[in-house]
């Protein structure tokens, strides 16, 4: 009887052990599940963080410098100036060497010495290059000089060595009343009070830089797409740096200068990877708390993620077709506007396409470029007005956002090169297209100006120009998400030369990945079946042992 009680006790004990094992297993699985959920929540949830570096920057730029000199009190500036050159002479009387710095700058000379592979070291700039907007400055200086920091640029005989022709006011006026006259060879508008402006000079503000850079190409936001008059007084949604309710930064906060040599490159005319204004100047190479995002910075520019759109307020010109210029109505030039008031057609210039809230295109860029120089042969169509160099294998290359401006313009069919036409003149009969509407005469005059022959046989060829997008940085909450690039039809769908997860498919990798998933699933299923079978076998074995002992005791 005692033996039977012992066997029953052992049986109950084994049963309790099995129950406890199941309970322990369930508790373990529950703990693991909770840990997994906590880990996922921690990974996926971005907790509010305090970015000390960013807050320090905000404090630094929140404090605006106080001028150390009140120019309105200077005796030499109390006179009534008759000419702008008299103002320059007054400036030089105190700033005795500054004019030499200005006259050594590309802003003054409209060109700089640079090295380009295949061309060597040469001077290049507005005097030697073309674009696909107003084409070129040669033979059109009187109009183009509205964006030159000098006075008296009527033609190609401008005296670059005359210091009195330097326009100090266009960059340093803080009265916001100074402006260049239209087609006045760089002279100020006749309504400008020179004495008031001279007494109001100071550090350049957005208005100074914007008077040229916002209106380049003949109107607001025509060329750049990310630089326009709205940025004089805007919000953070448009530009976090220039926003009046944000940092309210001036251009020169980033585009700093030493001896009037301003950092920053415009790759319609620049070629080298030097003296560039970059985000890293302030934000460093590791601005994020996420190491994954910081690693992206080795191949992806800050602008690529943080400027999802440009031309946020006013539209920008995306296409310009000179081939349609010259049409008349009742023998007179005419114009047409689109639904938002931008010129859709001008007899003087042709037809245009404008766009607003534009998603950028993306290219690899290493900071070096080349441009179409006057006299270059056309070797492919569309003609590349400028070429941005870079590729995935180049360690200096990053993905950057760009505006691509397309169109067509006049070229010499026999010599296979673009033509510099004469566009501007004050008078009819001077061969200027904007007055006489005769392409042949305009081509003869313009090519004579640049010293190149013209065959007399002209046509129009498609062209393409790239403009890096660097402004209109959006609030961080509007930065691109991962899937906007890492998907087959994402923003980088057309960017070739590298494999990007989520976008590209590689048969070998896909096959290997599929088999790894299958093997992993088989391993999981196999492991689970093994555990189930072993558990059943174990229970069966224990039951057999108990039954065997019971039989022995009964006997």
> What percentage of the chain carries pLDDT values higher than 90?
74
Residue 258 pLDDT greater than 70, yes or no:
yes
Q: Are 163 and 99 in contact (CB under 8 A)?
A: yes
- Phi then psi dihedrals of residue 270, to 5 deg: -95, 160
Helix, coil or strand: residue 458: strand
* CA–CA separation, 207 and 210 (whole Å): 5
As a whole number, the mean pLDDT across the chain is 91
Q: Are 366 and 394 in contact (CB under 8 A)?
A: yes
Give the pLDDT of residue 427.
93
Find, among 297, 300, 299, 265, the residue nearest to 284 by Cα.
Answer: 297
Give the pLDDT of residue 5.
46
pLDDT digits (tens, 9 = 90+) for 347-385: 999 999 999 999 999 999 999 999 999 999 999 999 999
Q: Which two tokens stand for residue 455?
A: 């065959």
Give the pLDDT of residue 3.
47
* CA–CA separation, 354 and 311 (whole Å): 10
* CA–CA separation, 92 and 43 (whole Å): 61
Q: Are 356 and 311 in contact (CB under 8 A)?
A: yes
CA distances from residue 91 to 75, 102, 107, 201, 204 in whole angstroms, order as listed: 12, 13, 18, 10, 15
Residue 7 pLDDT greater than 50, yes or no:
no
Q: Beta-strand (E) ranges in 429-480?
A: 458-468
Question: Would you mind telling me the total number of residues written for the chain in this entry?
Answer: 555
Residue 542 pLDDT greater than 90, yes or no:
no
Question: 């199941």: which residue's tokens?
Answer: 22
Q: What is the mean pLDDT of residues 398-416?
A: 99
Beta bridge partners of 441: none
Helix, coil or strand: residue 492: coil
In the chain, the N- to C-terminal Cα span, in Å, equals 13
Residue 48 pLDDT greater than 60, yes or no:
no
> What are the residue boundaries of the structural domains of the chain, listed by start?
1-45, 54-314+356-419+454-484
Q: What is the pTM of this model?
A: 0.84
Give the pLDDT of residue 552.
61
Question: 């200027």: which residue's tokens?
Answer: 432
pLDDT digits (tens, 9 = 90+) for 92-116: 999 999 999 999 999 999 999 888 8
Taking every pair of Cα atoms in the chain, the longest distance, rounded to a whole number of angstroms, is: 135
441-445 contact pairs (CB < 8 A, 24+) = 443/410, 443/412, 443/419, 445/139, 445/421
């Amino acid at each position: 009887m005692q033996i039977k009680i012992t066997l029953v006790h052992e049986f109950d004990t084994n049963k309790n052990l099995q129950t406890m094992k199941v309970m322990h297993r369930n508790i373990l699985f529950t703990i693991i599940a909770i840990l997994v959920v906590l880990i996922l929540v921690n990974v996926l949830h971005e907790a509010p963080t305090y970015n000390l570096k960013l807050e320090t920057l905000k404090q630094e730029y929140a404090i605006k410098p106080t001028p150390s000199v009140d120019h309105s009190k200077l005796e030499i500036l109390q006179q009534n100036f008759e000419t702008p050159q008299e103002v320059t002479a007054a400036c030089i009387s105190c700033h005795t060497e500054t004019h030499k710095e200005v006259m050594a700058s590309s802003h003054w000379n409209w060109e700089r010495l640079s090295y380009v592979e295949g061309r060597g070291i040469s001077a290049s700039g507005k005097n030697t290059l073309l674009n696909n907007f107003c084409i070129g400055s040669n033979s059109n200086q009187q109009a183009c000089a509205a964006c030159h920091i000098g006075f008296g640029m009527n033609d190609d005989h401008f005296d670059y060595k005359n210091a009195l022709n330097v326009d100090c006011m266009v960059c340093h006026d803080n009265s916001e009343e100074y402006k260049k006259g239209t087609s006045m060879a760089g002279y100020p508008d006749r309504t400008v009070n020179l004495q008031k402006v001279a007494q109001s000079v100071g550090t350049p503000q957005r208005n100074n830089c914007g008077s040229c850079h916002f209106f380049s190409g003949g109107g607001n936001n025509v060329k750049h797409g990310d630089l326009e008059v709205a940025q004089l007084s805007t919000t953070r949604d448009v530009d976090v740096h220039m926003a009046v309710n944000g940092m309210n930064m001036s251009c020169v906060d980033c585009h700093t200068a030493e001896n009037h040599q301003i950092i920053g490159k415009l790759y319609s005319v620049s070629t080298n990877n030097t003296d560039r204004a970059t985000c890293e100047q302030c934000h460093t190479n590791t601005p994020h708390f996420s190491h994954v995002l910081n690693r992206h910075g080795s191949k992806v520019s800050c602008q690529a993620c943080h400027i999802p759109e440009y031309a946020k307020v006013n539209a920008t010109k995306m296409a310009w077709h000179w081939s349609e210029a010259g049409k008349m109505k009742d023998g007179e030039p005419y114009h047409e506007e689109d639904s938002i008031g931008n010129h859709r057609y001008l007899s003087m210039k042709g037809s245009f396409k404008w766009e607003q809230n534009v998603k950028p295109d993306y290219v690899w860029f290493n900071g070096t470029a080349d441009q179409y120089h006057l006299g270059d042969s056309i070797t492919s169509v569309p003609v590349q007005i400028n070429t941005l160099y870079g590729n995935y294998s180049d360690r200096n290359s990053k993905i950057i956002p760009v505006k691509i401006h397309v169109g067509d313009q006049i070229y010499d069919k026999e010599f296979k090169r673009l033509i510099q036409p004469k566009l501007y003149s004050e008078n009819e009969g001077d061969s200027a297209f904007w007055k006489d509407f005769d392409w042949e005469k305009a081509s003869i005059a313009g090519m004579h100006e640049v010293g190149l022959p013209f065959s007399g046989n002209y046509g129009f060829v498609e062209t393409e120009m790239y403009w890096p997008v660097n402004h209109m940085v959006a609030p961080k909450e509007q930065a691109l998400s991962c899937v906007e690039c890492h998907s087959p039809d994402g923003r980088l769908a057309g960017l070739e030369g590298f494999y990007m997860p989520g976008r590209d498919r590689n048969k070998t990798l896909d096959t290997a990945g599929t088999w790894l998933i299958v093997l992993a699933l088989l391993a999981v299923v196999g492991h689970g079946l093994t555990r189930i079978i072993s558990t059943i076998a174990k229970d069966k074995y224990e039951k057999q042992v108990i039954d065997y002992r019971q039989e022995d005791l009964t006997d």
